[in-house]
Amino acid sequence: MTNKILHLHILGICGTFMGGIAALAKELGFRVTGCDAHVYPPMSTQLEQLGIELKQGYQTQHFDDEPDLVIVGNAMSRGNVMVEHMLDRNIPYISGPQWLLENVLKDRWVIAVSGTHGKTTTSSMIAWILQYAKMAPGYLIGGIPQNFDNSARLGKAPFFVIEADEYDTAFFDKRSKFVHYRPSTLVINNLEFDHGDIFDDLTDIQRQFHHLIRIVPSNGLILSPKNETAINETLAMGCWTPTEQSDCTLGWQAQKLIADGSEFKVTFKGDEQGTVKWALIGDFNIDNGLMAIAAARHAGVPSAIAIAALAEFVNTKRRLELRGTVNNIRVFDDFAHHPTAIAKTLAGVRANVGDKRILAVLEPRSNTMKSGVHKNVLPLSLQLADLVFVYQGDELKWSVSDLIEQCQQSCVVEDNINLLVDRISEQAQAGDTIVVMSNGGFDGIHQRILAQL
């Protein structure tokens, strides 16, 4: 694909990935328009500031000014009126990942961050480390990185950092997105069953990850933790690339100096590299930080510079982000959408607050959570909270009330946001930490809680 195509229209433009594609296309000089079922901030604001024309909803009149090429988001399916119009009129189309490969990635040193958890945070860390080292990397991150102005940019060759998602590519390409990225440096943070709407089991996901491993060159590098059985099984299916692992004496290690993870010492092959002192907490962020330091080292950044960069790292929005403090009650927003992520988030908060109370507020919103795949392990993932509040959304296919009997602590279930806010506000006390967990907007519940407090 070349810049002879002047007008691109993006279906599903307000998703974090497709919004990033739009920003990159605009920077390359294309005319970019797009539409989405819901045009909403922060992505809509970012795109409008870039001069990208946004249209609400999916209507065939959006194609009246017929584009040269349609970039199809993976939320689109057959039956969508614009998809059917595109196919009937034979308008050229392509998936976002394929467009990205052909127009941006094919000549770059791609640093791809994959795994069930931590992709956005680790990608943001790596991009920031390279920026701090004056390498001006390109990047596409599935969130709003606070060390940068936008979620995506071309940057300067050779380095491009990308969050590598295993979700499928498009309605016409059921391979995982990340097989299009052709990384030279691959991070696999962890590997668990997720996306129950498109994968039958963990083996299905491991197969897709092995497709990715197959395309990493022999002069590249694969980074992963040693203690992840699912990753080790996948590597054992065949690996033709050097590997480095964390949590082992021959690889990367971290020693916590403060219990909540806000300070830790880094060693590599037994040699001390330095001490990270940062604003983040949680063992999961230590894991992310180690992977970021290791990936940056492969790109030529000395560990000491990477460690200095992390001291100035500001976490991505919605990753245990403090939204406000009222009457000595802190309210955090976290993207946790899987029982493991929920448990790790609460473990980090518990190490930070000690014996003070944690109020966990959960919206089971991801496709996998809505289907009930993880419902039996949810109570265990919430055990470090003192009080639990769960929202029974309209699209949930199971009764959250089943959790109440399994929870060790008090568990409140509501199907009305206003009532849920009332119950939380009634229970909250000075010194409490409220952690709101959802991969959606949760109807602005964070601000509602702060206002009511």
Please, what is the end-to-end C-alpha distance for the chain in angstroms?
54
- Residue-level pLDDT at 246: 87
Fold of 7-95: Rossmann fold (3.40.50)
- Residue-level pLDDT at 199: 83
In 53-167, the DSSP E strands lie at 53-56, 69-72, 93-95, 109-114, 138-140, 152-153, 159-163
- Residue-level pLDDT at 370: 59
Which two structure tokens, joined as six digits, stand for 204? 């299905």
Q: What CATH number belongs to 107-310?
A: 3.40.1190.10
* 400-437 as b/e: b if 16+ CB within 10 A: beebeeebeeebbbbeebeebbebbbebbeeebbbbbb
Closest by alpha carbon to 55, among 97, 9, 92, 5? 9
Q: Are strands 152-153 and 358-362 parallel, antiparallel or unpaired?
A: unpaired
- Residue-level pLDDT at 317: 66
Amino acid at the residue 279? A
Q: Evaluate whether 7-95 and 107-310 have a shared fold.
A: no
The backbone region for 253, taken as left when phi is positive above 0, alpha when psi lies in -120 to 50, beta otherwise, is beta
| Class at the top of the CATH hierarchy for domain 321-452 | alpha beta
Measured in whole angstroms, the distance separating CA 218 from the mean position of its chain's CA atoms is 28
- Residue-level pLDDT at 207: 95
Please report, in tens digits, the pLDDT of each residue of the chain (453 residues total): 454 679 999 999 998 899 999 999 999 999 999 999 987 777 788 898 999 999 999 999 999 999 999 999 999 999 999 999 999 999 999 999 999 999 999 999 999 999 988 899 999 999 999 999 999 999 999 877 888 888 899 999 899 999 999 999 999 999 999 999 999 999 999 898 877 777 888 999 999 999 999 999 999 999 999 889 999 999 999 999 999 998 776 789 999 999 989 999 999 999 999 999 998 888 889 999 999 999 999 999 999 999 999 999 987 667 778 888 999 999 989 877 678 788 888 888 898 889 999 999 988 776 666 566 667 778 788 888 999 898 887 777 667 777 767 777 788 888 888 999 899 999 999 999 999 988 777 778 888 999 988
DSSP one-letter string for 284-331 = HHHHHHHHHHHHHHHTT--HHHHHHHHTT--PPTTSSEEEEEETTEEE
Distant-in-sequence, close-in-space partners of 185: CB < 8 Å, separation ≥ 6 = 109, 110, 111, 112, 220, 221, 223, 295, 298, 299
- Domain definitions of the chain by residue range: 7-95, 107-310, 321-452
Distant-in-sequence, close-in-space partners of 236: CB < 8 Å, separation ≥ 6 = none
338/286 Cα distance (integer angstroms) = 19
